[in-house]
């Protein structure tokens, strides 16, 4: 066992910073979808369910592509994966500025942007897990706090762009920004510390020449034969169901209550802003009290606040909802990758996280379109939010059964 001394400058912080900016652009752009919903309704006369359906297709394919990009990231590293996906993401948003038919919305957003987005969360947080052993939860939380930053910045910017230049030019601007930032930042990414002759933070030594640090734990084939894999996948499915339903429809819901669109967009931004604190605080809490307990706390808070949303009719009530929901949702997302590493190790972390992400995106596909359909039929989001609250309760119960794996299959 050859010992390597860690240099004064740890390159993992560069990787984390690059991942931060990439996720901020990717996720922030994704959460502008609800801001574009009403302009698309006004121009084309499509139903909310039809427009939400494109987002649902995006979520399904987004999750399926996670399996591919997770596997590619395990083998080849994030630089190539994120660069290619960044190109597709920018292209997809540029094409969105040209849509004139519903099939184009489904192709450009549902397929091309889904390919681009698959180079984000799973490859990046899996890479961060390889760079940090100690403080893995905290660093993951700091990196994914970028999602909150993006959600704070992008929806209000999108709303301003739409009001100033129209929705088509707004999509063009978002596409160019995504293409440039993501492709450039991706060039700074490295798969693991072994590629630059360093150790992961908190690791005392590695085998000489190893490029696959901590490549121990479950393979995907082993992981799918233990119940924790399916419990965690179900938890993520339920979480994404209500999360994406809220994120797509909270702005239209607020406007239905008579709140101006610019202020309604600020409710969505508030969710993203507070989620920054949730990701950092609960990510760090996972290191101290355990990821399972931290997850349970997040789900319990979400269940309570979704019942509050059913009674929220005024702006201050929506802001209170946004504050509490944003904190808990942000905390949960920071805990997903460390939970996978804790249960299954790092050897196949990317592909296992990607497969669990499939469950999440299935839930994220169903939630928005079901909420849109319920509104189209009833003229209200009340029943949709009731379903979200009930599902959050089920998710909380499942977290209580997420026990450590005693032995490998």
CA 20 to chain centre: 12
Q: Whole-angstrom Cα distance, residue 166 to residue 168?
A: 6
Query: CA angle at residue 385 from 381 to 386, to 5 degrees?
Result: 120
Instruction: Name the pLDDT band for 408 (thresholds 50, 70, 90).
Output: very low
Query: What pLDDT band is residue 243 in, cutting at 50, 70 and 90?
Result: very high
Q: pTM to 2 decimals?
A: 0.73
Whole-angstrom CA distances from 320 to 108, 215, 271, 274 are: 35, 44, 10, 11
pLDDT by residue (tens digit) across 340-368?
A: 888 887 777 778 888 887 888 788 878 88
| Euclidean distance between CA atoms 216 and 211, whole angstroms | 13
pLDDT in tens, 270-297: 887 888 888 888 888 888 888 889 999 9
Specify burial of residue 197 (Cβ count, 10 A radius: 0-12, 13-18, 19+). exposed
Tens-place pLDDT, residues 76-121: 889 999 999 999 999 999 999 999 999 999 999 999 999 999 988 8
The ranges assigned to domains in the chain are 12-201+214-399
Angle made by CA atoms 245, 249, 253, in degrees to the nearest 5: 135
Cα 47 to Cα 37, 50, 51, 368: the distances in Å are 10, 5, 6, 13
**Cβ atoms within 10 A of the Cβ of 205, count?**
11
Task: Tell me the CA end-to-end span of the chain in Å, nearest whole number.
Answer: 28
How far apart are alpha carbons 362 and 366 in whole angstroms?
Answer: 6
Q: For residue 204, what pLDDT is reported?
A: 59
Distance (Å, rounded) from C-alpha 98 to C-alpha 364?
A: 26
- Report pLDDT for 216: 56
209-219 mean pLDDT:
50
Domain topology for 12-201+214-399: Growth Hormone; Chain: A; (1.20.1250)
Whether the Cβ atoms of residue 376 and residue 286 lie closer than 8 Å to each other: no
Neighbours of 309 (CB within 10 A): 24
> Residue 353: CB partners within 8 Å, gap ≥ 6?
66, 70, 122, 125, 126, 336, 337, 340
Q: How many CA atoms lie within 13 A of 98 on its CB side?
A: 9
Which candidate, 65, 68, 70, 207, places its Cα nearest to that of 129?
Answer: 70
- Residue pair 367/52 in contact (Cβ under 8 Å)? The answer is no
pLDDT tens digits, one per residue of 172-197: 999 999 999 999 999 999 877 777 77
Mean pLDDT of the 135-151 span: 81
**159 CB-side CA count, 13 A:** 21
Residues 6 or more apart in contact with residue 257 via CB below 8 angstroms: 313, 314, 318
**For helices 33-44 and 136-165, angle between their N-to-C axes, nearest 10 degrees:** 30
Percent of all residues in the chain with a pLDDT value above 90, rounded to a whole number? 36
β-bridge mates for residue 201, sequence order: 132
């Amino acid at each position: 066992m050859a010992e390597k001394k860690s240099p004064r400058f740890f390159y993992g912080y560069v990787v984390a910073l690059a991942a931060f900016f990439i996720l901020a652009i990717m996720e922030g752009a994704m959460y502008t979808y609800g801001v574009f919903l009403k302009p698309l309704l006004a121009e084309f006369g499509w139903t909310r369910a039809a427009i939400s359906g494109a987002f649902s297709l995006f979520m399904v394919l987004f999750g399926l592509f996670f399996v591919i990009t997770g596997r590619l990231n395990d083998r080849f590293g994030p630089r190539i994966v994120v660069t290619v996906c960044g190109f597709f993401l920018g292209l997809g948003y540029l094409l969105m500025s040209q849509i004139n038919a519903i099939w184009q919305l489904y192709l450009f957003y549902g397929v091309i942007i889904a390919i681009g987005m698959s180079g984000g969360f799973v490859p990046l947080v899996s890479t961060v897990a390889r760079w940090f052993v100690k403080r893995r939860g905290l660093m993951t939380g700091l990196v994914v706090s970028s999602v909150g930053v993006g959600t704070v910045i992008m929806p209000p910017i999108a709303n301003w762009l739409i009001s100033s230049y129209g929705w088509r030019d707004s999509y063009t601007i978002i596409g160019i920004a995504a293409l440039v930032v993501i492709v450039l930042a991706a060039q700074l990414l490295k798969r693991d510390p072994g590629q630059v002759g360093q150790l992961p933070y908190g690791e005392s030594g590695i085998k000489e020449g190893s490029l696959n640090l901590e490549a121990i734990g479950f393979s995907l084939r082993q992981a799918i034969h233990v119940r924790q894999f399916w419990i965690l996948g179900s938890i993520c499915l339920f979480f994404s169901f209500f999360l994406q339903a809220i994120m797509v429809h909270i702005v239209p819901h607020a406007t239905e209550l008579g709140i101006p669109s610019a202020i309604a967009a600020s409710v969505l931004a508030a969710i993203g802003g507070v989620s920054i604190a949730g990701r950092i605080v609960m990510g760090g809490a996972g290191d101290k009290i355990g990821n399972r307990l931290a997850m349970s706390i997040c789900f319990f808070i979400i269940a309570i606040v979704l019942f509050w949303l059913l009674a929220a009719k005024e702006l201050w009530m929506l802001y209170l909802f946004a504050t509490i929901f944003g904190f808990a949702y942000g905390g949960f997302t920071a805990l997903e990758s460390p939970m996978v590493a804790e249960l299954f190790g790092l050897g196949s972390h990317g592909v296992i996280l990607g497969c669990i992400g499939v469950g999440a995106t299935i839930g994220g596909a169903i939630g928005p379109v079901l909420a849109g359909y319920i509104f189209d039929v009833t003229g209200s989001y009340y029943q949709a939010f009731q379903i979200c609250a009930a599902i959050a309760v089920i998710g909380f119960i499942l977290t209580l059964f997420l026990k450590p794996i005693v032995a490998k299959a």
